[in-house]
């Protein structure tokens, strides 16, 4: 996997302003996602450790990457996506801060994780 890159961070309200142009990618590890029981509404959930394989599917799209704590996993995946030519940024908050701000979340079932 790629090293952690310096990256642009989006504030939670920014993706809400342009959801059609920005794809939200939840790279929370599956056990943590199941434990949380929720994700940001409309986000996609590829496995974080397969980013080099699935990155090409997001070429030409602006994406914002997040995880449950907004630290190492999302930063590394964001770096991998950038290495693969994807316009990737990280959210400036973690999932819990998004939820606490009253922004849209949806339930996730164990089978969807």
Per residue in 33-72, pLDDT (tens digit) is: 888 888 888 899 888 889 999 999 998 888 989 888 777 8
Flag whether 31 is in a domain.
Answer: yes
This prediction has a pTM of 0.78
Q: What CATH number should be reported for the domain holding residue 70?
A: 3.40.250.10
Nearest to 89 by CA among 24, 28, 38: 24
Flag whether 4 is in a domain.
Answer: no
In the numeric block, which tokens belong to residue 89?
Answer: 């940024």
Domain residue limits at 42: 9-112
Which residues are CB-neighbours of 4 under 8 A, at least 6 positions away? 72, 75, 76, 79
In the numeric block, which tokens belong to residue 58?
Answer: 């997001």
Q: Is the pLDDT of residue 101 over 50?
A: yes
Q: Is the pLDDT of residue 6 over 50?
A: no
Flag whether 59 is in a domain.
Answer: yes
> Total domain count for the chain?
1
Task: Return the pLDDT at 81.
Answer: 93
Q: Where are the beta strands (DSSP E) in 1-113?
A: 9-10, 22-26, 38-40, 62-66, 87-91, 105-107
In the numeric block, which tokens belong to residue 85?
Answer: 């030519």
Task: Return the pLDDT at 17.
Answer: 44
Pairing of strands 87-91, 9-10: parallel
In degrees rounded to 5, what are phi and psi of residue 3?
Answer: -70, 165
């Amino acid at each position: 996997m790629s090293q952690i890159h310096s990256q642009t961070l989006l504030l939670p309200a920014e993706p809400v302003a342009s959801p059609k142009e920005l794809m939200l990618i939840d790279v929370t590890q599956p056990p943590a996602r199941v434990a949380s029981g929720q994700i940001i509404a409309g986000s996609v959930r590829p496995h974080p450790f397969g980013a080099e394989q699935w990155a090409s599917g997001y070429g030409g799209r602006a994406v914002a990457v997040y995880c449950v704590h907004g630290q190492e996993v999302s930063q590394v995946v964001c770096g991998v996506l950038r290495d693969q030519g994807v316009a990737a940024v990280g959210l400036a908050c973690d999932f819990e801060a998004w939820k606490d701000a009253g922004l849209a979340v949806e339930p996730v079932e164990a089978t969807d994780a």
